Amino acid sequence: MLHYVLDDNGEPLQVDDVLAWAAWFETAHAARVVAQDELAGGVSVSTVFLGLDHNWGFGGPPVLWETMIFGGPHADWQRRWCSREEAIAGHAEALQLASATRAIELE
């Protein structure tokens, strides 16, 4: 499994030392969070840097970010991303999905 940390510019760096990765991961919560939003009705949308390549060796770039919706009709909706830019756009997509559904429920 490939382990990654973020450098000072927020770019992923592969690390071979699992203990160094674990030490970084333990203290890097703020650096790992791309965005977190709380919506009405207990729904939240979270996008984070995973630190582990979720591509699982299938070729192509590492998959290092994840967006999830918690609560509401789209609970457990999840997408993963290869770049921070994709993750930011994906977070906006998830917010739109969760918010649109929430607005329909309130009508």
The pLDDT of residue 81: 97
H/E/C letters for each residue in the chain?
CCEEEECCCCCEEEECCHHHHHHHHHHCHHHHEEEEEEEHHHEEEEEEECCECCCCCCCCCCCCEEEEEECCCCCCCEEEECCHHHHHHHHHHHHHHHHHHHHHHHC
Indicate whether 103 pLDDT > 80: no
pTM beyond 0.85: yes
| Alpha carbons 16 and 2: distance in angstroms, whole number | 8
Query: Which residue shows structure tokens 């940390």?
Result: 5
The tens digit of pLDDT for each residue in 22-75 reads 999 999 999 999 999 999 889 999 999 999 999 977 788 999 999 999 999 999
Indicate whether 92 pLDDT > 60: yes
The pLDDT of residue 58: 76
25 CB neighbour count, 10 Å cutoff: 19
What confidence category does residue 1 fall into, taking pLDDT thresholds of 50, 70 and 90?
low
| Alpha carbons 65 and 53: distance in angstroms, whole number | 9
